[in-house]
């Protein structure tokens, strides 16, 4: 049986007073999602081990069927892989945001979702001023970039994701390391980045235009090259594809032995090409046994603390993704399983990820749905799958 997983990143949330005790999933109008729910078996999934941070890299790894406690080596190395950056086993690879700071406060983890073109100019300036035979900056997408420190894989700095600390003094959250010299080196690199970036022409123009400036680097999620078996060798899947606008998901795909599919107009934000992603999934499943369709938009709305925007992204996923994909699955002779779930909650009121379990549902031809008729964080607690952990999701999907 072929499989399509629709991953609505960060779409789970918590009851909100402004929504009269509902979550965005509950408040959104989702006729297609609820139609799928009526045909599916549902449950709650714990995607993040207690020993690891509740990041998308950990949660998506678990949903794909990899034990993150065994294989997780940091987010940066996944993003480096997606960008085609060669790393050695002894390199320390870190995700490197360019953020907005003002009066010692982190104002914005994404520098207002700066364009990749602008960011590329800033990363080039960082390499010219701070790069060396030890330090390398690599341009990613928008605010998401990669920092490589050669030969430093043994270092295990403790880092706080910048999206966890909006409105807080950054000095209280700078990386810490057992090696005091390395901690000083990394902290100094961050502080010197302000000297390079703050008055750069790109940021001067952004100030003039009333946009957040990208005036400091924020390295986090350090790690080194993982050794992961292919998804095919673990679960007997013949071929598979991943559709996403996010580098870390494509990096994970590379280590899992899956093909990467890129959709024109896919941004990772609320204005992403939802229709194009659905069309790509429908095309991919005609050739592949496994399709992982990742949509970032609800997560970014959660980080912005924007409940109305989050509801809109969920409704857009319902209309432009779930509807067309479900109609295709029901119209073809091939047996195709269809699953929908978030990777983790990103509550609007907290503006960061939590490790709470997420709702999930799986439709399989010939299998009667359970009694749950609406898909949300509360309803699926009554689902027949009950509460499951991590890699159990892939095992159930693959049955």
Residues 85 and 143 in one domain: yes
Domain that holds residue 135: 81-223
Q: What are phi and psi of 183, to 5 degrees?
A: -60, -45
Residues 120 and 217 in one domain: yes
Residues 145 and 116 in one domain: yes
Please list the alpha-helical segments (H only) found in the chain: 24-27, 31-38, 56-63, 68-71, 75-82, 116-130, 180-197, 201-208, 231-235, 247-256, 274-285, 297-304, 307-317, 323-331, 392-397
CA separation (Å) from 26 to 20, 22, 329?
Answer: 11, 6, 25
Residues 92 and 61 in one domain: no
Last residue of one domain, picked from the residues 223, 245, 275: 223
- Mean pLDDT (the chain) is 95
* pTM score of the predicted model: 0.82
3-state SS, residue 279: helix
Residues 369 and 232 in one domain: yes
pLDDT band, residue 74 (cuts 50/70/90)? confident
What's the pLDDT score for residue 383?
Answer: 98
Number of H helices, E strands in the chain: 15, 13
* Residue 114 pLDDT greater than 90, yes or no: yes
Residues 206 and 259 in one domain: no
Last residue of one domain, picked from the residues 223, 238, 270: 223
pLDDT band, residue 380 (cuts 50/70/90)? very high
Residues 250 and 376 in one domain: yes
Residues 284 and 359 in one domain: yes
Q: Could you read off the pLDDT of 11-32 as tens digits, one per residue? A: 999 999 999 999 999 999 999 9
Residues 214 and 251 in one domain: no
Mean of pLDDT values over 66-76: 91
* Residue 75 pLDDT greater than 90, yes or no: no
Q: Are 380 and 361 in contact (CB under 8 A)?
A: yes
Residues 375 and 244 in one domain: yes
């Amino acid at each position: 049986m072929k499989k399509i997983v629709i991953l609505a990143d960060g779409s789970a949330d918590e009851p909100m007073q402004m929504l009269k005790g509902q979550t965005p999933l509950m408040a959104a109008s989702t006729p297609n999602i609820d139609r799928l729910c009526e045909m599916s078996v549902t449950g709650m999934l714990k995607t993040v081990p207690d020993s690891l941070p509740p990041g998308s890299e950990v949660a998506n790894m678990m949903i794909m069927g990899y034990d993150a406690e065994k294989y997780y080596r940091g987010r940066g190395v996944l993003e480096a892989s997606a960008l085609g950056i060669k790393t050695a086993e002894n390199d320390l690879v870190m995700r490197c945001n360019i953020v907005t700071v003002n009066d010692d406060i982190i104002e914005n983890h994404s520098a207002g979702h700066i364009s990749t073109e602008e960011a590329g100019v800033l990363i080039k300036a960082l390499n010219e001023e701070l790069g060396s035979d030890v330090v390398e900056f690599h341009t990613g997408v928008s605010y998401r970039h990669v920092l490589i420190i050669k030969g430093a894989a043994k270092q295990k700095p403790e880092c706080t994701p910048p999206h966890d600390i909006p409105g807080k003094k950054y000095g209280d959250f700078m990386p810490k390391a057992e090696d005091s010299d390395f901690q000083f080196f990394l902290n100094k690199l961050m502080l010197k980045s302000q000297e390079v970036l703050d008055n750069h022409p790109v940021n001067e123009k952004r100030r003039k235009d009333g946009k957040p400036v990208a005036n400091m680097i924020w390295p986090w999620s350090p790690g080194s090259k993982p050794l992961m078996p292919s998804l095919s060798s673990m679960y007997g899947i013949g071929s598979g594809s991943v559709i996403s606008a996010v580098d870390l998901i494509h990096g994970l795909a590379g280590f899992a032995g899956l093909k990467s599919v890129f959709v024109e107009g896919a941004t990772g934000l609320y204005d992403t090409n939802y229709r194009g992603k659905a069309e790509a999934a429908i095309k991919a499943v005609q050739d592949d046994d496994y399709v992982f369709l990742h949509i970032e938009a609800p997560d970014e709305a959660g980080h912005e603390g924007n409940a109305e925007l989050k509801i809109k992204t969920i409704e857009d996923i319902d209309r432009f993704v779930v509807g067309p994909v479900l109609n295709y699955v029901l119209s073809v002779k091939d047996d195709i399983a269809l699953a929908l779930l978030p990777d983790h909650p990103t509550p609007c009121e907290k503006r960061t990820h939590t490790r709470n379990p997420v709702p999930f549902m799986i439709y399989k031809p010939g299998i009667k749905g359970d009694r749950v008729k609406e898909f949300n964080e509360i309803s699926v607690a009554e689902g027949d799958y009950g509460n499951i952990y991590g890699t159990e999701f892939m095992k159930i999907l693959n049955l």
